[in-house]
Amino acid sequence: MEEKQQYSLISEALPKALFVFLKTLFYFIVLPYKIWKSSTLRLAHISNQPLLSDDEEFPVYSIAKIGYDAFIVFLPILGIVIGVFSLLFGGYNSYYYDPYYSGFWSFVSSFVVCYFLIPLLSFIKEILTITLSMVRSLKKIEKNTEK
């Protein structure tokens, strides 16, 4: 009886699991755009302000965060520029010469690679943020234990 119940649960769970897989795949495609958009808005927000204040506790980290955001904003543009150069000057193959086919796919691949590097850079930035927040928390714990 238990085996029959397991099979009915699997038949109910499989479509739901497939739906979640497709939803995750779609979100993975949209995620770089969302990260790019938030980085662009953050940079636009601080454009009229000084990059560092005098009482900044971690100035190098603040500049590094701004640098990561600037590189994330620039990355798709870099992919398009590399793609245009490969479209114009690429296209040599050992068997035949077809500038459109080879150049087109190198254009698309350079943009796609630069587009999907955005989450990786954002992940590195998040790891740095988590590390810094841990250091700040340890400082607060140390101050509280000294009292």
| First CA to last CA distance, the chain | 64
Looking at residue 61, its pLDDT comes to 81
Residue with the bigger pLDDT between 107 and 99: it is 107
- How sure is the predictor about 1, in pLDDT bands with cuts at 50, 70 and 90? very low
Q: Where are the alpha helices (DSSP H) in 46-98?
A: 59-89
Percent residues over pLDDT 90 in the chain: 33
Helix/strand/coil for 55: coil
Statement: residue 34 has pLDDT above 90: yes
The total of structural domains in the chain comes to 1
Q: How far apart are CA 43 and CA 53, in angstroms?
A: 16
Residue with the bigger pLDDT between 43 and 93: it is 43
**Structural domain for 122, as ranges:** 2-146
- Write out the two tokens for 97: 């010469």
Q: How far apart are CA 131 and CA 103, in angstroms?
A: 42
Looking at residue 93, its pLDDT comes to 52
pTM of this structure = 0.73
- How sure is the predictor about 4, in pLDDT bands with cuts at 50, 70 and 90? low
- How sure is the predictor about 69, in pLDDT bands with cuts at 50, 70 and 90? very high
